[in-house]
Chain A
Amino acid sequence: LSSNQGNMGRLELLQTLSGHQGRVWNVAWNPRGDILASCGEDKTIRLWTTEGTSGQGDSIVGNWVCRSTLVDAHQRTIRAVAWSPCGNRLASASFDATTAVWERRIQQSGGLIRGKEFECVATLEGHESEVKSVSWARSGRLLATCSRDRSVWIWEVENGEDEELEGEFECAAVLNSHSQDVKRVAWHPERDLLASASYDDTVRLYMEDQAHGEWSEIAVLSSHTSTVWGLSWEVQRGEKTEVGCRLATCGGDGSVKIWQEFGPNNTEGVAPGPNGYPTWKCICTLSGHHGGRPVYDVSWCPCTGYIATACGDDAIRIFGEAVGGDSIDFGTPSVELLATQRSAHLQDVNSVTWNPTVPGLKGALCSARMSSG
């Protein structure tokens, strides 16, 4: 992505990866940004790396190839994949009502180390129907899943990040606040604060009450007029904002919204929420950009602060915050469209994600392209 040359930036296609059979639903970068995981209708997860490199940074520009295919853990579509913060674990959410956890383990044969491969080490069961999304908390000790059954589950990972898992997952909470199908869960980049997005048009936030050790809903974000499909926290620290005090959401109403947290003693004079919890307000709505089509995913770049969207009109769009915009009303940001890649794919774009280490490199974008992915 070359940005801000003139007014409009330009998106450049670096590579097209094919291999999946049928629709590709989701893509995710590992924390180092040198492995891309993809999943879809064909019940497989594919891991992609650049050919012959294991380094960081410059490896992005190489030729991406499928390094391994993870199979046999799910009976139905794999809807989403998520990396643990250490990058050694991967979780996959499936329409078969389970979530699988994969771990990178040293493969030995005849006393020789053959390499590190991912093995399925746990299957989390409990949801009554399709699992739609999965997310790891920053600490790596909590995992969240959500489902068509309207619930959000929080799982505790029993042992530490560096030890091997032996199926050590315990359900810490079942949250039933949504009235419909829950589409997405995403943990805050630093805190144990969870956001969920639903077919009931709302986003909900959850925290653990330290005194009682119980998880509960602390805020309802209502403003979208249709299904909320995507959620992305702001990871970069802004001039006036803390890490993760803003959240971008997108949905079936074709809009993207930016929400901001207002703590108990905020200078803007926003009244605090119940029990002294922060209040979340929609401070910006980007509408009219997506041709009335659903926006299926949104990704807020941790390096550049750009916001990318995946849309049902086959396009990818990039938005950026105008620098030096006046921030009088609650720090209302002035966000503008920087680039549009029409026909980025031949069908709906389902997922968009920024590479976490290389500024401006657009992570993988995946489409619903049949048979070639």
Chain B
Amino acid sequence: MAKLEKLENLNPKLFRRCDDRVISSEEQDENVCDEFDNREIFDLIRSINDPEHPLTLEELNVLEINNIHILKTFLKHVVFHVDNQNNEINVRFTPTIPHCSMATLIGLSIQVQLLRALPTRFKVSVQVTPGSHASESAVNKQLADKERVAAALENTYLLEVINQCLTLKQGA
């Protein structure tokens, strides 16, 4: 955990973790082409740790499964298009408090986790839930700027903090 002088949110509201995903026999069959679904994306990021509390983003309700959308927009009337998927993943997260200074860091952690775990063809967009943060547009703009994200990930200290957030804890 990053060492912090004082906690911003002293008493976060906790939420129960949802049950583990049931993996169907079809999903285990290597011969069946199986697209990413909401639940899989959720599982990739549910156990990211909060930068401030020894809790996961799910327990703090930073993420809700319904806010995660894998857009599967099929193009109509385009006969020559081979790949019908848009390869887009949009994630919206809700910071624990509207003035949370960790919002960008949490968003960055989600983004990094998805960039590492998913095939490179995906366009990952991470945003805060509309109305949930005082600096919503500033946070969203920063997270959408791939040049600044790339520069941030070359920052050794920041990368260490993100990696700590992304490290799965025992039992999580």
A residues contacting B by CB (< 8 A) are 23, 41, 76-77, 79, 95, 129-130, 132, 148, 181, 183, 199, 226-227, 252, 293-294, 312, 342-343, 346-348, 368-370
Contacts and interface: CB of A to CB of B under 8 A. Distances in A.
Contacts of B151: 77, 95, 129-130, 148
A348 B147 CA distance: 12
Interface stretch (B41-49, B127-135, B138-146): B138-146
A138 B147 CA distance: 28
Interface in B82-130: 83, 120-121, 123
Contacts of B141: 199, 226-227, 252
Contacts of A95: 150-151, 154
Contacts of A79: 147
A369 to B, nearest CB: 8
B169 interface: no
B27 to A, nearest CB: 26
B120 A77 contact: no
A132 B146 CA distance: 13
A219 B145 CA distance: 26
A300 to B, nearest CB: 22
B17 interface: no
A35 B146 CA distance: 28
Contact of A252 (B120, B144, B154): B144
A136 B160 CA distance: 38
Given A76-B154, A77-B154, A95-B154, A346 B148 contact: no
A346 B147 contact: no
B81 to A, nearest CB: 8
A79 B150 CA distance: 11
A77 B150 contact: yes
Nearest to B150: A77
Shortest 3 CB-CB distances between A and B: which pairs?
A130-B151, A95-B151, A76-B154
Contact of A199 (B83, B145, B154): B145
A370 B154 contact: no
* Number of chain B interface residues as a range: 10 to 19
B114 to A, nearest CB: 14
Interface in B49-85: 81, 83
A199 B120 CA distance: 25
A23 B120 CA distance: 11
Given A23-B150, A77-B154, A130-B151, A347 B121 contact: yes
Contact of A227 (B120, B145, B150, B154): B145
A56 to B, nearest CB: 34
A132 B150 contact: no
B127 to A, nearest CB: 14
Nearest to A95: B151
Contacts of A226: 141
A346 B121 contact: yes
B146 A348 contact: yes
Contacts of B145: 181, 199, 227, 252
B78 to A, nearest CB: 9
A294 B143 CA distance: 13
Given A77-B154, A226-B141, A227-B141, A183 B120 contact: no
Contacts of A77: 150-151, 154
B104 to A, nearest CB: 14
A183 B147 contact: yes
22 contacts: A23-B150, A41-B150, A77-B150, A77-B154, A79-B147, A95-B154, A129-B151, A132-B147, A148-B148, A148-B151, A181-B145, A181-B148, A199-B145, A226-B141, A227-B145, A293-B123, A294-B144, A346-B120, A346-B121, A347-B120, A348-B146, A369-B120
A97 B145 CA distance: 19
A369 B119 CA distance: 12
A79 B146 CA distance: 12
A314 to B, nearest CB: 9
Contacts of A148: 148, 151
B125 to A, nearest CB: 10
Given A183-B147, A227-B141, A368-B146, 15 more contacts: A95-B150, A95-B151, A129-B151, A130-B151, A181-B145, A181-B148, A199-B141, A226-B141, A227-B145, A252-B144, A312-B123, A346-B121, A347-B120, A348-B146, A369-B120
B23 to A, nearest CB: 29
